[in-house]
């Protein structure tokens, strides 16, 4: 991997981490009034995907999409403003944290119903294939999504039509507080299950950003080359509570030992340490990155806070293409 990409991965991961931690720190102010799902601990897959995809590639995601949106190039200011419910938000305050969009960088939308965007991502890819555009469609999904019928229906059709789709699964072991053990039989590997549909599937460590990037780069090239859809599963871990800013290990649905073990495998710190050891970045570089990120975040929150709320009449717009309906 070239040093440029390594630095980009580190920068993007530090940025995602800092954004999420700032949201967590400021959530209690009650100005961000919407359910918010943070991905602290899961930064590697998003950052690697962002680096492996082109801005012209399209992506969709689910309820936990901040990292995907940012990694794909989504505007931070518009995202924070959206969480604040401001008119300057990426969805003009209509959507909130769970409904992010930035079409200028190919982030076509994230929605809050599990599995809901999977067939949409497959649909996005159809014109790409028909028109030979060279783009691919990336569907971000969690480990609960391969429990939905629509996931399998969508994968099947993508295989039938050999569509350029990257199904990208972040397996963090939990669906809200339900472990995989109550949702899938013992020993099941999602990537093996999905392989039965006749597409190439892969599996890896979702906390090793460079390994994820290497795997995805190869996959993205293959999909772009017309080899049909692929499914990638990466194992990772959510540190904070399912929804909201706190930690929830006190609930007892997962062990503190498990959490501590994953925390030791902090994907951001791991990459940072490795890049410093390999002399790809210096401590000073990291400090510079962090300073740049902090300044951007401060500016984004200030922007969100000082932005106006949408005018009341906006509550009634955007239902149909034209005012009549």
Partner 1 sequence: MATSFAAAIRDGLATALAADDDVICFGLGTDDPKGVFGTTLDLHKQFGPDRVFDMPTSEAAMTGFAIGAALNGMRPVLTHQRLDFALLSLDQLVNNAAKWRFMFGGKRGVPITIRMIIGRGWGQGPTHSQSLQSWFAHIPGLKVVMPTTAEDAKTLLLGAIFDDDPVIFLEHRWLHNMKGEVPAGDVREPLGKARVVRSGDAVTIVAMSYMTVEALHAVDHLAAQGIACDLIDLRSIRPLDWPTVITSVQKTGRLLALDSGHLTGGVAGEIVARIATDHFASLKSAPQRLAAPDVPEATSPALTKNYHVRAEHIADAVGRMLGRDVETASLVAQRTFPHDVPGTWFSGPF
When asked if residue 319 is in the footprint of partner 1 (CB under 8 A), the reply is yes
In whole angstroms, how far apart are CA 86 and each of 100, 109, 233? 13, 18, 35
Q: Is 87 helix (H, G, I), strand (E, B) or coil?
A: coil
- Contact flags string 33-72 toward ligand TPP, x per CB under 6 A: ------------------------------xx--------
Residue placing its CB nearer to ligand TPP in the complex, 42 or 88: 42
b/e 62-99 (16+ beta carbons within 10 angstroms → b)? bbbbbbbbbbbbbbbbbbbbbbbbbebbbbbbbbbbbb
* Binding-site partner at residue 172 among partner 1, ligand TPP, none, CB < 5 to 8 Å by type: ligand TPP
When asked if residue 293 is in the footprint of ligand TPP (CB under 6 A), the reply is no
CA-CA distance, 91 to 314, in Å (whole number)? 11
* Binding-site partner at residue 41 among ligand TPP, partner 1, none, CB < 5 to 8 Å by type: none
CA-CA distance, 104 to 100, in Å (whole number)? 12
DSSP 124-179: HHHHHHHTT----EEEEEETTGGGSHHHHHHHHHHHHTT--EEEEEEE-SEETTEE
In angstroms, what is the minimal distance from the CB of 203 to partner 1? 20
When asked if residue 93 is in the footprint of partner 1 (CB under 8 A), the reply is yes
Q: Is 108 helix (H, G, I), strand (E, B) or coil?
A: strand
* Binding-site partner at residue 309 among partner 1, ligand TPP, none, CB < 5 to 8 Å by type: partner 1
Among 151, 167, 174, 301, the residue binding ligand TPP under the rule CB under 6 A is: 174
In angstroms, what is the minimal distance from the CB of 293 to partner 1? 25
When asked if residue 302 is in the footprint of partner 1 (CB under 8 A), the reply is no
Enumerate binding residues for ligand TPP (CB under 6 A).
Answer: 63-64, 112-114, 142-145, 172, 174-176, 242
């Amino acid at each position: 991997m070239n040093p440029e990409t390594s630095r980009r991965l580190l920068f993007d991961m530090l940025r995602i981490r800092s954004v999420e931690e700032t949201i967590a720190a400021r959530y209690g102010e009650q100005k961000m009034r919407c359910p918010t799902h943070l991905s602290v601990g899961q930064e590697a897959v998003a950052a690697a995907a962002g680096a492996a995809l082109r801005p012209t590639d399209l992506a969709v995601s689910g309820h936990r999409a901040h990292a995907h949106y940012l990694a794909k190039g989504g505007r931070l200011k518009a995202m924070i403003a959206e969480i604040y419910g401001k008119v300057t938000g990426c969805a003009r305050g209509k959507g909130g944290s769970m409904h992010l969009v930035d079409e200028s960088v190919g982030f076509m939308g994230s929605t809050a119903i599990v599995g809901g965007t999977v067939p949409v991502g497959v649909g996005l890819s159809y014109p790409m294939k028909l028109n030979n555009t060279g783009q691919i469609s990336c569907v971000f999904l969690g480990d609960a999504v391969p429990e939905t019928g629509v996931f399998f229906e969508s994968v099947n059709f993508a295989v039938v039509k050999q569509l350029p789709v990257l199904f990208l699964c972040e397996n963090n072991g939990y669906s809200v507080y339900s472990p995989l053990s109550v949702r899938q039989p013992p020993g099941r590997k999602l990537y093996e299950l999905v392989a039965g549909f006749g597409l190439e599937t892969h599996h890896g460590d979702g906390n090793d950003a460079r390994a994820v990037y290497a795997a995805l780069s190869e996959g993205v090239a293959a999909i772009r080359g017309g080899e049909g859809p692929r499914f990638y599963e990466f194992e990772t871990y959510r540190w904070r509570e399912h929804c909201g800013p706190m930690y929830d290990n006190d609930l007892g649905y997962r062990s503190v030992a498990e959490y501590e073990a994953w925390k030791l495998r902090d994907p951001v710190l791991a990459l940072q340490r490795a890049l410093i050891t390999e002399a790809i970045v210096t401590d000073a570089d990291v400090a510079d990155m962090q300073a740049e990120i902090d300044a951007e975040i401060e500016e984004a929150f200030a922007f969100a806070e000082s932005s106006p709320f949408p005018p009341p009449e906006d509550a009634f717009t955007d239902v149909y293409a034209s005012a009549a309906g």
